[in-house]
Amino acid sequence: MRAKFLPLLAVSLFPLACSSAPQDHALPEAGASAGSAGAATTVGGSASIDTLIAPEGLTVTPHPGGCGALDVIALTLRAGPTNGELYAALKNGGETPACSPAFSVQLFDSTEQMLANGLAGLLVKRFYRLTDGSNTIAACVGPGDTTMVAITDLPAELALTDVARVEYWCNFWALDVVETSGLRLSNVRAVAREDGVAYTGALENGFDVALESPTVAVFPLNRAGRPLGVARGQGALTVPPGDNWDFETDTVSDAGVAFAAYPAGGP
Amino acid sequence: MTNFNRRILLKGLGGAVVAAPFLSSIWERSAKAQAMTTPKRTIVMFTHYGCITNKWFPAKLTGELTAADLMATNLAPLAPFAKKLLMPRGIRTMNEWTANNTGAGKGRGQGNDSHTQIAGSIFTCQPVTPNSNDPFSFGDPKFKAMPIGPSLDHVMAKQLSPSGTPLFMNVAGMSKEQPQSAISYSAGEQIFTAVTATQAFSGLTNLFKQGTPMNADTWAISKGKAITDIVKGDLSRLMAKDMSKADKDKLAAWMELANQVGSVVASAQCTQELAMTLGASNKLGTGTGDALTRKVNDTMDNADLYSAIAALTAACNANPVIFLKYPNNFTFSGLGINADSHNQSHRLSDASMQGPCVKDAVANLEKIDSYYAQKFANLVKMLDSMAEDSGTVLDNTVAVWMNEMSDGNAHNLNNAPIIQAGSGGGYFKTGQVINLDAASGATPEQMLGRSLSQCVDGTPQTSNGVNQGTGTDSKYGNAPVNKYFCNIMNAMGMKADASGFPAKDGPASEVTHFGYSDKTEDFAGGAGAVQGATIHNPGGFTELKAS
């Protein structure tokens, strides 16, 4: 299973990763979205790297049960400025929404000694209401949707060259729900800043309640749809129902060739 | 510093104490300590994902706990120790997740993640932060929330352990966990790192000596801590008094002498031979199977090795607060279960919490319950095999097996499965099942819970992790765990502040308050959201006390 995973992933999921993420958001051409000339970025720097798993040779395997209908389609493990970082893209290949999802990993060396573990919430674009009469809102990865996750607090002392295998699993709720309005991102674009590339856009609060301290997460992607990092934006404000929040994220140094943007927190 | 520590410490000091006749406080406490008994310890074994309650609890809800009662359950391995067991029934732990936890006044707790908020609150009795009022929201805050205060092991160790920290071991060897499974917090939002078996054992080997019993204070001295630091509180109060220069000189001379003669005499029991007898000196198994069930030798597996180190730590009085944590999301391949333990707890093949039941899930969960019971029985057996005073080390210990929840599919925290071994030096009753929520009127049958209401093998069904259908009715089993924790702390002789919260320097001699609140509804909305959130029913359970 483990030995077959990578080639299988590369062959069968590459088209999905290439096509699904870009459909969701405006995708600038490599190097074209950085704006003004002279920006100290490496936009397009990863354009030639089409791998779905990085670093190359890293084995990615599901824990028993894995993520259910959510398949890992791309994953990056890298050293960040302060901690080890892991980014992943998953696609809901099932027929039901995966709600309130979390993604967990354990990192092993070649002797199967566990080196580190991590956990983060998967990001979603769709919102649903439970059909039990409670009116409860659920945030879910809809059927066919791609979700992404950023684990940015892996141990700083983690030597990435020692990591031979990543094992992952998910928690989520399969609920009886109907889709409803929620948070929607629009006009997202990459802009050059002195220290890298940031993303701007608008977050619309489609809920019937106010959104406190809105947040967004934008993942630059390589050509295969693999997330290379994350840029985050957070507002210290309240967005009333129906209103927009115009955001700008912090910067990334490698903006890849495309990006995928998500709201990063609900009301 | 506890009285028993002073007894042995001062005994060892001999002439130094005689040379300081004016130190009345020390003399008085020394004399008092002479009447005290041996050291006490608390050992907690913690497991995830609840149990099959109908097969875990004995049929009776109150009365004598017999071997026959246990033989009919998945706790059968504990039957030989029935007379030394105590099963407190009807306890609720904190802070329960339900689908309608949408803020203050709604539901039975916070609306974060069902496991994150339970793991964070179970030993802290504190809410987690940041709070979520949306049980089905998304993003990091939901899963990375942490409690706002320290956990019981640290609160206890601060008073009882020479290092000020507990011995905290993850039985699968994981050092630092994520908030979704972390239970040990040194302070608010500070996850405590577990030590490995090797690290824990190494810390004991330099205590292997012959002589008189070792205690927490002599251990501290062996580590280089000055005696005057050990009795710092007494000395501070004494030095604050108005004394003549001559008395000050005498005091200074005594302090110097005390530190000079403070050589350590280790426990007669704390030996390499004992380590070998318990199996604590073995190396972890590295063969086939999983990290818990891998064989160390013919009689013990890796999990038992951690228990042996815990037992040795207790015998050596190296640390009186020991927590053994079993892993989350574990695959018990050594038990023939090639599925994730969390998924199994939901009777599913993945963690979607709702869907068609997977074959053999209930049977597998019973197998896991029985395995845990055997591990706890092995720990109890080790503790009971070591003589101490007129009894055994177990008799002076409170060894408790606690679970993250009651039924794993329902995530319910009422009717918590808790079993204790040892009386904590005579503080607790033993050989009893005691119903602490008799006022609810629940029958013994109702208190067996409803774990078998879904997915019993052979019956095609759907598992539902939202409606709590497999949990015990929420009307029953709601006596707050805070009170039980107060009992444990009082059994260990801990002190409290004027409000009854644990406090190293007292002045109160009984802990009556622990945590943010003893009412699960007070956790809804997070810290400060419910007006009047407090300890509503202070004190321990008198029903559990031997006298």
Rg of chain B over CA atoms, in angstroms? 24
DSSP B349-390: SSS-SEEEPPTTHHHHHHHHHHHHHHHHHHHHHHHHTSEETT
% of chain B surpassing 90 pLDDT: 73
Say which range, A72-76, B247-251, B366-370, B483-487, has the weakest mean pLDDT: B247-251
**pLDDT over 70 at A83, yes or no:** yes
**In the block, residue with structure tokens 């490995």:** B196
Mutation target to probe the A interface, by most A beta carbons within 10 A, among B110, B114, B117, B138 is B138
Q: How far is B401 from chain A (nearest CA, A)?
A: 26
Verify whether the Cβ–Cβ distance B180 to A68 is below 8 Å: no
Q: What is the pLDDT of residue B177?
A: 93
Verify whether the Cβ–Cβ distance B180 to A138 is below 8 Å: no
Q: Around B372, how many Cα atoms within 13 Å sit in the side-chain half-sphere? A: 31
Cα distances (Å, whole numbers) of residue B91 to A65, A122, B223, B276, B474: 32, 35, 40, 38, 12
Q: What is the pLDDT of residue B220?
A: 52
Verify whether the Cβ–Cβ distance A171 to B99 is below 8 Å: no
**pLDDT over 70 at B20, yes or no:** no
Q: Specify the pairing of strand B85-89 against strand A165-173.
A: unpaired
Tell me which residue in B135, B144, B355 faces A136 most closely, judged by beta carbons.
B135
Residue B8 backbone dihedrals phi, psi, to 5 degrees: -75, -40
Verify whether the Cβ–Cβ distance B99 to A134 is below 8 Å: yes
In 3D space, the residue among B547, B351, B348 whose CA is nearest the CA of residue A173 turns out to be B351
Verify whether the Cβ–Cβ distance A136 to B353 is below 8 Å: no
Rounded mean pLDDT, B258-282: 69
Rounded mean pLDDT, A156-160: 91
Distance CA B528, CA B433 (A): 36
**B106-142: pLDDT as tens digits:** 999 999 999 999 999 999 999 999 999 999 988 888 9
pTM score, whole prediction: 0.85
- pLDDT higher for B268 or A228? A228
Asked whether the beta carbons of B417 and B75 are under 8 A apart, the reply is no
Asked whether the beta carbons of B191 and B182 are under 8 A apart, the reply is yes
Closest B-chain CA to A67: B350
Q: The complex's ipTM?
A: 0.83
Tell me which residue in A65, A99, A171 faces B136 most closely, judged by beta carbons.
A99
A155 contacts in chain B (CB < 8 Å): 176
Contact partners, residue A219, CB within 8 Å, separation at least 6: A87, A89, A148, A150, A227, A228, A229, A230, A231, A259, A260, A261, A262
A69 contacts in chain B (CB < 8 Å): 350, 352
**B496-519: pLDDT as tens digits:** 999 999 999 989 999 999 999 999
Distance CA B97, CA B102 (A): 10
B41 touches chain A (CB under 8 A): no
Q: What is the pLDDT of residue B238?
A: 65
